[in-house]
């Protein structure tokens, strides 16, 4: 780490949104900037929704010198959930954050030395622009926390949507975004909330997608081997800011000190290389009791050793339920103990995916999970739960990183039987071609962030702009 000329180094402020899926890439970007010698301020709204987010921020801040990385807090006003048109605690928190950003100009102005750029989460675009309208000389960037394929939909979304209702009559069964190289997106892959203008998700997309041209650049965590079709068009459309494909890799600060971590790794150490299937549907995805039982049956039927992170609550508040309570079937719990390990606490996903015994990953296809599977070269079975995850699953399949169980539908639409789950897991774990393709993608991911790689070059270009400004 080069801190020479520290008094002249760019100072960048980052403003994350709620949820681990948004916080994690923000902190990885912050770590990358710090490792490139920049000074970083993390602007964090309080209170924070989940304990996992609080712990991750604390570990991040502890990993760097206080004169290089620091936190600046602001208070988030509470909002009436009924005004957000969502029951999701993270959507409610994001809207509350959006309504609290009038503090941003004074907060930014108080930072010393003055910041070279502000990087905001994609879900905070419009209120950030409004709050900082008089800060004319402040370079502003967006961190887009999904795939380049999803970005093509986001950037052109307002052209398919009227102010009062969706209008897809002119697109048929597929959405053809105006981006060069992007394969048409099936209407069936569109996140359901984007079809209803009354949802928080749709109204935010509608408002924000029109304003991309007001920003100086968009940062996105992807690389050519993973999204060759979405990136081969080169520069974006006229009027849109440049896209920087930065490589945000798992970091040491993400490794927790939870007691369960060492037990999990010890369990993995005893398994044959590439034999374990890891099952996790992200930090927010929950399953109904009946589907949890069928998932357990499927894992047992697959014949593979498995590590399953089971989750039945969105927010990780105090939880005293036993695994038997969560699974709801004591006999099944005993069966699973013979072949697998089931946990309900936070797991260091990077450490798990990087373990030599892990050969497959059953995932919801949240973008962080996809890029982590790509980084570690682990084949993936996608089962999208909502949001951008079907679009991300299309990336997984097109890249060769894995397969997508299309006939299962969105998770929660119907109960998928254990027999089907077990059969599909067995198929991917026996698929040597898939294994080879995933390993190749992992090698390409490392090249992208290495010297001369596309992501490293994009990062250096970005930092060079900030130094000049």
Question: Which tokens go with 158?
Answer: 């307002």
Q: Domain for residue 462, yes or no?
A: yes
Q: Domain for residue 21, yes or no?
A: yes
Distance CA 218, CA 451 (A): 22
How far, rounded to the nearest angstrom, does the alpha carbon of residue 163 sit from its chain's CA centroid?
28
* pLDDT for residue 200: 78
**What phi and psi values does residue 43 have, to the nearest 5 degrees?**
-95, 115
Winning range, highest mean pLDDT, from 333-342, 367-376, 408-417: 367-376
**268 shares its domain with 231:** no
Band of the pLDDT at 73, cuts 50, 70, 90? very high
Tally of domains within the chain: 2
* pLDDT for residue 19: 87
Q: Domain for residue 424, yes or no?
A: yes
Distance CA 134, CA 136 (A): 5
Confidence check: pLDDT of 6 > 60: no
* pLDDT for residue 312: 62
**176 shares its domain with 324:** no
What CATH number corresponds to the domain at position 310? 3.40.50.2000
* pLDDT for residue 458: 94
Tell me the per-residue pLDDT of 363-377, one tens digit each, with 9 for 90 and over: 999 999 999 999 999
Closest CA to 149 of 208, 189, 195: 189
**238 shares its domain with 338:** no
Low-confidence winner among 42-51, 114-123, 264-273, 423-432 (lowest mean pLDDT): 42-51
Which residues, in sequence order, are bridge partners of residue 217?
141
**68 shares its domain with 141:** yes
Tell me the per-residue pLDDT of 226-239, one tens digit each, with 9 for 90 and over: 998 888 754 556 77
Distance CA 296, CA 14 (A): 40
Q: Domain for residue 444, yes or no?
A: no
Closest CA to 317 of 45, 54, 23, 44: 54
Tell me the per-residue pLDDT of 264-293, one tens digit each, with 9 for 90 and over: 999 999 999 999 999 998 765 577 888 999
**235 shares its domain with 272:** no
Spatial CB neighbours of 82, under 8 Å, sequence gap ≥ 6? none
Closest CA to 388 of 154, 73, 156: 154
**408 shares its domain with 304:** yes
194 DSSP 8-state letter: G
Q: Domain for residue 1, yes or no?
A: no
**16 shares its domain with 55:** yes
**157 shares its domain with 231:** yes
**What phi and psi values does residue 455 have, to the nearest 5 degrees?**
-70, -40
What are the residue numbers of the active site?
22, 121
**226 shares its domain with 84:** yes
**217 shares its domain with 289:** no
Whether 307 contacts 301, CB under 8 Å: no
Q: Domain for residue 217, yes or no?
A: yes
Categorise residue 18: left if φ over 0, alpha if ψ from -120 to 50, beta otherwise: beta
Confidence check: pLDDT of 5 > 50: no
**166 shares its domain with 136:** yes
**243 shares its domain with 290:** no
Q: Domain for residue 438, yes or no?
A: no
Tell me the per-residue pLDDT of 135-168, one tens digit each, with 9 for 90 and over: 888 999 999 999 999 999 999 888 776 555 555 5
> Once rounded to an integer, what is the mean pLDDT over residues 96-124?
93
Kindly report the CA angle at 427 between 445 and 225, in degrees rounded to 5? 15
List the domain range (segments joined by +) for residue 351.
258-430
* pLDDT for residue 378: 98
Q: Domain for residue 53, yes or no?
A: yes
Band of the pLDDT at 79, cuts 50, 70, 90? confident
Tell me the per-residue pLDDT of 37-59, one tens digit each, with 9 for 90 and over: 999 999 999 988 888 899 999 99
Band of the pLDDT at 314, cuts 50, 70, 90? low
Predicted TM-score of the model (pTM): 0.91
């Amino acid at each position: 780490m080069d801190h020479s000329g520290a008094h002249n180094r760019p100072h960048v402020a980052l403003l994350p949104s709620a949820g681990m899926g948004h916080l994690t890439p923000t902190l990885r970007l912050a770590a990358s900037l710090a490792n490139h010698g920049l000074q970083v301020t993390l602007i964090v709204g309080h209170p924070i929704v989940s304990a996992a987010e609080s712990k991750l921020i604390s570990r991040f801040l502890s990993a760097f010198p206080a004169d290089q990385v620091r936190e600046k807090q602001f208070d988030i006003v509470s909002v009436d959930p009924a005004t957000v048109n969502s029951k999701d605690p993270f959507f409610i928190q994001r809207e509350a954050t959006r309504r609290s950003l009038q503090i941003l100009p004074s907060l930014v102005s108080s930072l010393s030395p003055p910041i070279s750029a502000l990087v905001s989460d994609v879900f905070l675009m419009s209120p950030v622009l409004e709050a900082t309208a008089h800060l004319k000389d402040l370079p502003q960037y967006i961190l887009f926390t999904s795939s380049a394929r999803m970005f093509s939909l986001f950037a052109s979304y307002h052209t398919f949507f009227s102010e009062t209702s969706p209008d897809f009559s002119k697109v048929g069964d597929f959405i053809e975004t105006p981006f060069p190289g992007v394969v048409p997106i099936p209407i069936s892959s569109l996140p359901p909330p984007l079809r209803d203008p009354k949802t928080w998700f749709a109204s935010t997309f509608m408002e924000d997608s029109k304003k991309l041209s007001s920003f100086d650049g968009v940062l996105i965590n992807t690389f050519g081997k993973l999204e060759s079709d979405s990136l081969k068009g080169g520069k974006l459309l006229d009027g849109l800011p440049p896209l920087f494909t930065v490589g945000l890799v798992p970091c040491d600060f993400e490794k927790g000190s939870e007691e369960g971590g060492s037990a999990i790794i010890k369990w993995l150490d005893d398994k044959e290389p590439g034999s374990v299937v890891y099952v996790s549907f992200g930090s927010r995805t929950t399953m109904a009791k009946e589907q949890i039982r069928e998932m357990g049956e499927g894992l047992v039927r697959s014949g593979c050793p498995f590590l399953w992170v089971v989750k039945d609550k969105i927010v990780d508040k105090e939880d005293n339920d036993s695994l038997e309570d969560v699974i709801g079937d004591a006999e099944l719990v005993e069966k699973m103990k013979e072949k697998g390990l089931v946990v309900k606490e936070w797991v260091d996903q990077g450490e798990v995916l990087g373990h030599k015994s892990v050969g497959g990953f059953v995932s919801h296809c949240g973008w962080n999970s996809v890029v982590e599977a790509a980084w570690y070269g682990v084949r993936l079975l996608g089962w999208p739960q909502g949001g951008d995850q079907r679009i991300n699953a299309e990336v997984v399949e097109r890249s060769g990183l894995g397969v997508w169980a299309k006939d299962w539908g969105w998770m929660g639409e119907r109960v998928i039987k254990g027999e089907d789950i077990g059969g599909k897991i067995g198929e991917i774990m026996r698929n040597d071609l898939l294994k080879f393709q995933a390993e190749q993608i992992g090698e390409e991911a490392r090249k992208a962030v290495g010297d001369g790689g596309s992501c490293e070059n994009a990062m250096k270009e970005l930092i060079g702009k900030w130094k000049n400004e």
